Amino acid sequence: MPKYVDGYVVPVPRKRLRAYRRMAAQSAKIWREYGALEFRECVAEDLAAEFGTPFPKQLKLKKGETVMFSWITFKSRAQRDRINAKVMKDPRIAAMMKEPAPFDCKRMLYGGFIAIVDA
* Residue boundaries of the structural domains of the chain: 4-114
- pTM over cut 0.85: yes
Domain 4-114, CATH 2.30.40.10 — does that match? no
Pick from 28, 42, 20: nearest CA to 90: 28
- pLDDT band per the 50, 70, 90 thresholds, residue 54: confident
pLDDT of the residue at 1: 72
pLDDT of the residue at 94: 92
**Which of the two residues, 75 and 119, has the higher pLDDT score?**
75
pLDDT of 18-43, one tens digit each?
999 999 999 999 999 999 999 999 99
pLDDT of 8-18, one tens digit each?
999 999 999 99
Task: Mention every residue, 6+ apart, whose C-beta is less than 8 A from residue 34.
Answer: 83, 86, 87, 90
Pick from 97, 92, 74: nearest CA to 84: 74
SS3 content of the chain, % helix, strand, coil (to 5): 40, 25, 30
